[in-house]
Amino acid sequence: MKKLSLYTLIILVASLLIFGCTGAKTVTPKPEQPAKAESVSPIAETLRPIVIYDSWSGNTKKIAEVIAHELGCDAVFIDDIDKYDLRSYNLIIIGSPVHTGMPTKKIKQFLSQVQPAKYSAVFVTYGAPGFGPLTAKICLDCMEKKLGDTSIGRFKCHGFHHIMKTYPDHPNTDDAKEAIAFASDLAKKCLERL
Ligand SMILES: Cc1cc2nc3c(=O)[nH]c(=O)nc-3n(C[C@H](O)[C@H](O)[C@H](O)COP(=O)(O)O)c2cc1C
């Protein structure tokens, strides 16, 4: 019995020496990455699209993600854009909430310094009643102006206005369907031209 325990002890110590050092791997936490497309579709490989957006309360983010999903690419929050080399994309799609008829400060700043890709497109969500569509148009015009003649499409839809409480539940499934149609139209236009 004593012999058996001594034998077990020797095996235990030997295993610890052999596997103990190499087996215990240091787990380095991965830095937080922006949401990535799960796999690259053949269309995404040819188009090389990317969606870049700002969003204060999640409406524009929702539409950005719908468009990105349709195109099989990443939807990147504006704060994370430095992690991407934008020179490697053929189609840049930029989204913003409308803030007093303009894109957000971050999107404005981004647009003032971005080197436009071969093709671009813009979209906004807006929530003001009455004059909302007009402010959305002004905002889209302003965004497109910064992209020169690279813009091949624009899209707008309602988004719940947290201050005015207008358009609750927007963007809804119909808005999402329209965003999908917008994305597939962009893909079609791009593929025809590339
Ligand atoms: C500061 C501020 C200004 C806004 N200005 C406008 C505006 O000029 N026109 C409009 O239609 N909606 C306006 N809205 C409503 C937002 O554009 C709308 O709710 C949008 O969907 C919010 O998107 P987000 O959730 O991605 O931030 C404004 C909202 C905020 C917070």
pLDDT by residue (tens digit) across 39-85?
667 778 888 999 999 999 999 999 999 999 999 999 999 999 999 99
Domains defined for the chain, CATH in brackets: 42-189 (3.40.50.360)
User: Which residues form ligand 1's pocket by a CB distance below 6 Å?
Assistant: 55-61, 97-101, 125-128, 132, 135-136, 159-161, 163
For ligand 1, atom 8, which residue shows the shortest CA distance? 100
CA–CA dist 49, 47 (Å, integer):
6
Mean of pLDDT values over 9-28: 35
On whether the CB atoms of residues 78 and 110 are closer than 8 A, the answer is yes
pLDDT of 43: 73
For ligand 1, atom 21, which residue shows the shortest CA distance? 159
* Angle at which helices 173-193 and 59-71 cross, to 10°: 40
23, pLDDT greater than 50: no
Coil, strand or helix: which one is 169?
coil
CA–CA dist 14, 25 (Å, integer):
19
Mean of pLDDT values over 120-138: 97
pTM of the predicted protein model: 0.83
Cis bond upstream, residue 171 (ω within 30) = yes
- Using the mean position of ligand 1's atoms as its centre, give its distance from the Cα of residue 98 in Å: 5
pLDDT digits (tens, 9 = 90+) for 79-102: 999 999 999 999 999 999 999 999
Distances (CA, A) of 46 to 10, 51, 73: 61, 15, 11
CA–CA dist 134, 43 (Å, integer):
34
Computed on alpha carbons and rounded to an integer, the radius of gyration of the chain in Å comes to 25
Q: Which atom of ligand 1 is nearest to the CA of 136?
A: 11
CA–CA dist 14, 165 (Å, integer):
69
On whether the CB atoms of residues 32 and 75 are closer than 8 A, the answer is no
Q: Which atom of ligand 1 is nearest to the CA of 56?
A: 27
CA–CA dist 100, 176 (Å, integer):
24
157, pLDDT greater than 50: yes
- The DSSP element (H or E) to which 110 belongs, if any, is helix 105-113
* Angle at which helices 105-113 and 132-146 cross, to 10°: 30
